[in-house]
Amino acid sequence: MLKRVEQQAAYILHHRPFRDSSQILDVITMEHGKLGLVARGSRGARSRLKGVLRPFMPLAISWVQRSDLGTLTGAEVRGAPLRLSGDALLSGYYVNELLLHFLHRHDPQPEIFDVYAKTIEALAATDSVPACLRRFEIELLRHVGYALNLDHESGTHDPLQPDAHYEYRFEQGPVRVERTAGPMVFSGSALLEIGAQRFDEPAVLRASSRLLREVIGFHLGGKELKSRKVLVDLHRARIAGS
């Protein structure tokens, strides 16, 4: 059965060449979730879509769907183009890669689309890229069913104590421990501050990066994200050169 959809708000998450002048797009849409679409002839020299089908560009797209992979029938820019560069650009690709891994096709989640759009806009305007990423990661995990527990102890449901220490266990949450060090051990105050998203504090930002890196890695089954590796390598190179 042929399904035709017109003028849907969308962003391109990934694209790859297909045949001589076409490409396959992975897109996120407001009302239809993540989709795979063939953009026929879009890489051709005379294609009107050549400068339109780019990541981080707010689009209105149309397509027809007969199988799992649809066919793009139109696309136009629906807002001011967003310009990402440097760390913000790499971080944008990281955000896209997270959505590619966490979202299922044809599963409408407008709240995730909204969070994504706001994150891309924030990356284009912010001087604090890491804080922007941590906020996105927390919201994404919440919307896909892996919300962090950052206010009470697992099992007892007692409120976290700022001066106590907890080991964050992936499938449980914070469990109180006597030791103060370990890859997933955090003070109660750190977890509470992360929950409040007080990322203007360097110590809170570092703790949130450590926590979210491990939690996301667990839910991805240990799969390494290419964009994260580039960001980490770039950060290490800067430290070595400073």
Every domain of the chain and the residues it spans: 3-77, 86-241
**In whole numbers, what is the pLDDT of the chain averaged over residues?**
92
CA–CA–CA angle 101, 91, 230 (5° rounding) = 85
Interatomic CA distance for residues 138 and 116, integer angstroms: 12
| Residue 199: pLDDT over 80 | yes
Q: Do domains 3-77 and 86-241 have the same CATH topology?
A: no
Q: What is the pLDDT of residue 237?
A: 54
Q: pTM above the 0.85 mark? A: yes
Query: How does pLDDT run across 94-125, given as a tens digit for each residue?
Result: 999 999 999 999 999 999 999 999 999 999 99
Q: What is the pLDDT of residue 232?
A: 64
Tokens of residue 195, six digits? 């929950």
Query: How does pLDDT run across 63-90, given as a tens digit for each residue?
Result: 999 888 999 999 999 987 788 999 999 9
pLDDT, average across residues 31-52: 92
pLDDT, average across residues 161-186: 96
Share of the chain above pLDDT 70, in %: 94
CATH class given for the domain over 86-241: mainly alpha
Interatomic CA distance for residues 104 and 40, integer angstroms: 24
CATH class given for the domain over 3-77: mainly beta
